[in-house]
Chains A and B, each alone.
Chain A
Amino acid sequence: MNRRSTHLLTAGAALAVTALTLSACSGGEGTGDGGGDAAYPSEDITLIVQAAAGGGSDLTSRALANELEPILDTSIVVENRPGASGSTAMQYVADQEPDGYTIGFVPVEIAMLGHQNFDVDPADYDFLGQIMLAPGVLVVPADSPYETLDDFVQAAQSQELSVANSGAGSIWEAAALGLADETGAQLTPVPFDGGAPALAAAVGGQVDAAVAGSGEVSAAVAEDQVRALAIFHSERHPDLPDTPTAAEEGYELEFGGWGGIYAPAGLPDDVRSTLESSIEEAATSDGFVETVTASGALPVYKSSSEFTEFVSSEYERFGQILGNG
């Protein structure tokens, strides 16, 4: 055998082995039969996160996993499957065996993507509980002429105002659209690549306003880099005590970046109830509440049935806002 073919062979063999190994990893089916024999959980649980490591969803998921491990007495492996606005992870979860060994963090986008041409349907999942909520906040540059939500809406009725948000198809874009729908204001949503640049555009005065999550804006509000006009939630936020709710200002609007835990639809009853109670315990534990609070979000817990109902009402609501109702 000449040298050249040796090289090709070695490289080819190495690549084939790697590809096979990685395929086995990515397949996820290799986790064993999972059902029946032993009491659930008898092996590691994988928690799928739809965003890359380091973001808010990832942090919340890891904090929850830390609390869930001792409760379920098993290891929780947090796996990031970012891409395509989170739909990659959602489709992956829907395709897994409903045996309780694959669960996932489910963001508000589950109620929106189906209306935006993504193949995502809430009916494909069992929703096990809501674990957090980051209400949306409308902020304007520090030197903006608008002092209240009403000022802003009034002004936007005679001229077009730009509102930055974290991305096309994001919850904060929908919030701006929803506000425009409700009030007849002329708002131009300007999508940025994430919440931080959207907020920066408001700080720098490049846009008339921005909508972002409570955790993203509270520091900038405290530093007087921006002024918060209203929070889209039923009550005021502890980090933003001076910011009125939209309802206080006369606009009954709520928008939040909520998150919960889901699994592929069709979990066995015993597995489902074990997961539900464990998630409730973890989501209301001191450690988890502390992490979520520190990140500026609210540790809002909803039980599986409340959450399921909430998701379907959000799904309908966004269908109307996003124009596919």
Chain B
Amino acid sequence: MNVISDGLVPLLDVTVVVCLLAGLLVGTFVGLFPGITGSMAVALAAGFTLTLEPVQGLAVLLTIYVGANYGDRIPSILVNTPGTPAAIATTLDGYPMAKQGKAGLALVASSFVTTAGILVSMAVFLVAARPIAQFALEFGPSEMFALVVFGLTVMISISSKSILKGVIAGIVGLAIATVGRDPVTGDERFVFGVNELNSGLPFIAVIIGLFGIAELFDQLVTHREHLVRPISSLGRWWPNRREIRQMGKPFALGSVIGTFVGIVPAAGGDIAGLIGWDRAKRMSKEPEKFGKGSLEGLTAADTSSSATLGGSLTTTMALGIPGDSVMAVMIGSMVIWGLQPGPSLFSNSPDLVITIAAIMIIATLLSLLISLVRMRGMVRLLDLPQHYLWAGILVFCAVGTYTTTNSMYTVWVMLASGVVGLVMKRTGFPAGPVVLGLLLGPLAEANLRRALLIDGPASLVTQPISAVLLVLALVGLATPLVARVRASRRREPRAEEAHVTSGRGR
């Protein structure tokens, strides 16, 4: 008990409370601003917090980390633009829900499952951090490769309308992911003398372009009086009893997947959200609604991407190995404060572990509160005349993207991706698989190459974890194909029709 009170007492300080609130404010705005990610904000804030006391500094940094996970859902749901990569999967069902006039429900449900996801993963952190963290050490290059391949099978699910077009889009994503320096030999690939291309296409600029800017261009070009205004009201806020019951299964699934993916070093909310969404779809009674405004889909995506927070924290604090990019910055700051994350943190300073957990939990609850309070503000925002709103979003996206490298190059990439996205939309090619390929391609390649360098090809199938994951990936790939073939045999004519109308459902 002593340890718990020792851990909680430092939080009663007024300055710590001020730090918490400051972090919360920054985190929310950062999430809201497409392009600016949690890791960027934490990194920049880390420059200022070094002069603070450790507890104050942790209060600022951890709340930014948490707060960004709420803010980023808002642009995903309202304008189809992920505020940070962790909210990519939120767009899949969040935006369709908003288009159906259920933006309020989507925002509220998202806030609650995000909260619950973080709390579940924090419970795991408190109860079993040390034994579970050992699992992270099992994840070498071959395991990581297998996990990423497993993630790539999500491609099939997110291209529900036409598997062929989805797979083509995915392959294009994988292909453009090869631009840049070879991860092992450092040779130039498809750089064409453009120095910026040495580090590959800027991922954040591409996702904002393909999702948000493409949507915006689409709205600008097609706007007609008689078309329904995309999102003019929030609709009702609270889920009814039936919907709450619906959310149960995807939530349970999402928290397990999210915590697990969070523990794996270098895999974060973006991958977890997509895998969670995919698994929930496969286990759902209504998989056909996924991607068209399914509350289950939104629940699974947001739970699993937020549950990575506790998982990452577990790996970071119990092993001293960063669980994600934010945690890498966090370790840097903690070291300067003289706090070394790692196995002995739990035995030498259990009170600090309690303090960290308490900050995370308080930040989570406060974020939930803020996200409910600001719902009224959302209503006002949507009352703005559409042309101001769109222009505003465009400016926000341009500025946010610019800040990632401080150069116009990324803004041009964003706009070009927007045009490409618009063309894809009009021709019925989904953007999701491209992003998936771009996100996972480099991870798959680099880890495969590392595994081959270390042990040769055999290790991929002889290591138990990677073998299991690869088998799961194969199963994941085969089942929807088999199901689809069966379904089309059963009702040939209707399947034909579905293909013809596979463009965007309006």
By secondary structure, the A interface counts as helix
Write the chain B residue with the least CB distance to A13.
B391
A206 surroundings in chain B (CB, below 8 A): 140-141, 454
Stretch at the interface among A17-25, A230-238, A312-320: A17-25
* Chain B 441-469 interface 0/1 with A at a Cβ cutoff of 8 Å (1 = within): 00000100010011000000000000000
Write the chain A residue with the least CB distance to B140.
A206
Assess whether A22 is in contact with B450, with CB atoms less than 8 Å apart.
Answer: no
CB distance from B227 to the nearest CB of A (A): 11
Assess whether A220 is in contact with B141, with CB atoms less than 8 Å apart.
Answer: no
Distance, CA A243 to CA B275, complexed state (A): 44
* Chain B 190-207 interface 0/1 with A at a Cβ cutoff of 8 Å (1 = within): 000001111100000000
A99 surroundings in chain B (CB, below 8 A): none
A199 surroundings in chain B (CB, below 8 A): 321
By secondary structure, the B interface counts as helix
CB distance from A37 to the nearest CB of B (A): 28
Partner of B398, one of A18, A119, A162, A294: A18
Assess whether A11 is in contact with B387, with CB atoms less than 8 Å apart.
Answer: yes
CB distance from B438 to the nearest CB of A (A): 16
Assess whether A190 is in contact with B390, with CB atoms less than 8 Å apart.
Answer: no
A227 CB within 8 Å of chain B: no
Assess whether A168 is in contact with B181, with CB atoms less than 8 Å apart.
Answer: yes
Distance, CA A8 to CA B138, complexed state (A): 53
Distance, CA A145 to CA B338, complexed state (A): 32
Distance, CA A201 to CA B321, complexed state (A): 10
Count of chain A residues near B, Cβ 8 A: 69
A85 surroundings in chain B (CB, below 8 A): 181, 198-199
Assess whether A52 is in contact with B40, with CB atoms less than 8 Å apart.
Answer: yes
Count of chain B residues near A, Cβ 8 A: 72
Write the chain A residue with the least CB distance to B321.
A200
CB distance from A165 to the nearest CB of B (A): 11
B450 surroundings in chain A (CB, below 8 A): 190-192
Would A79 and B454 be within 8 Å (CB), given that A11-B394, A19-B411, A53-B44 are in contact? no
A114 CB within 8 Å of chain B: no
Assess whether A196 is in contact with B390, with CB atoms less than 8 Å apart.
Answer: no
A22 surroundings in chain B (CB, below 8 A): 398-399, 402, 408, 411
Please name 14 further chain A to chain B contacts, defined as beta carbons within 8 Å, in addition to the given A14-B395, A83-B196, A193-B266, sorted by A numbering: A7-B387, A23-B408, A26-B406, A54-B42, A78-B47, A84-B181, A84-B199, A87-B198, A118-B195, A162-B453, A191-B450, A203-B319, A207-B454, A295-B336
A interface residues with partner B (beta carbon < 8 Å) = 3-4, 6-8, 10-11, 13-15, 17-19, 22-23, 25-26, 52-56, 58-59, 62, 78-85, 87-88, 91, 116-119, 162, 168-169, 188, 190-194, 196-197, 199-201, 203-207, 215, 219-220, 222-223, 225, 291, 294-296
What are 12 A-B contacts defined by CB distance under 8 Å? A11-B391, A18-B395, A53-B40, A53-B329, A54-B332, A78-B47, A168-B183, A190-B141, A204-B137, A206-B140, A220-B342, A294-B338
